[in-house]
Amino acid sequence: MTQAPAQHRPPRIALIAHDHKKDTMVELAREFAPFLTQCTLSATGTTGRRLIAEVGLTVECMLSGPWGGDLQIGSRLSQGEVDVVIFLRDPMTPQPHEPDINALVRACDVHDVPCATNLSSARLLLKQLAARV
C-alpha cells in the first residue's frame, strides 16, 4: 500500500518507557490523548499494554524492551517507518538490555529522527506536533 506523503499524515510515534517512568508516560499520554489518537502508535510491550489499558489508545505492541522491543522499533525506524520516538529512560537504574537502548538512540541519530528521552523534551515535541495537525 502506498503511504501518504509525510506532510499529509499524522506522525508515526514510538512510545517507550522504563519501569520507573511508566506512570509518567501514562500521564503524558493522557494529556496528549486527543492528538495521539490521530497518530499511528507503536510501543515496547509493557509500555504499550499500559497505554491501551489505561489511556484507551490504539497501539501496536512490540516485544518487551529486554526481549528485543527496542531493537524492533530501531529496525522499523531505520526503514523509515517511525517519525518520532518518545523514550522516557530511567537514568538511575541499570538495564540488562543497555546495548539495545543505545542502538535505538543511535538509530535515531543516524536517521535524524526526533527522540525525546525525558518528560520536558517529550512535552515540547508533542506540543509542536499537535499544533501541526
Ligand X SMILES: O=C(CO)COP(=O)(O)O
Q: Which residues bind ligand X (CB under 6 A)?
A: 16, 18, 44-47, 64-66, 69-70, 101
Shortest reach from residue 126's CB to ligand X, in Å: 18
Give me the catalytic one of 19, 23, 70, 112.
Answer: 70
45 labelled binding-site residue: yes
Known active-site residue 23: no
Output Rg (C-alpha) for the chain, integer angstroms: 14
CB of 9 to ligand X, least distance (A): 25
Q: Is 8 annotated as a binding residue?
A: no
Instruction: Please report, in range form, the residues annotated as the binding site for substrate.
Output: 18, 22, 44-47, 64-65, 97
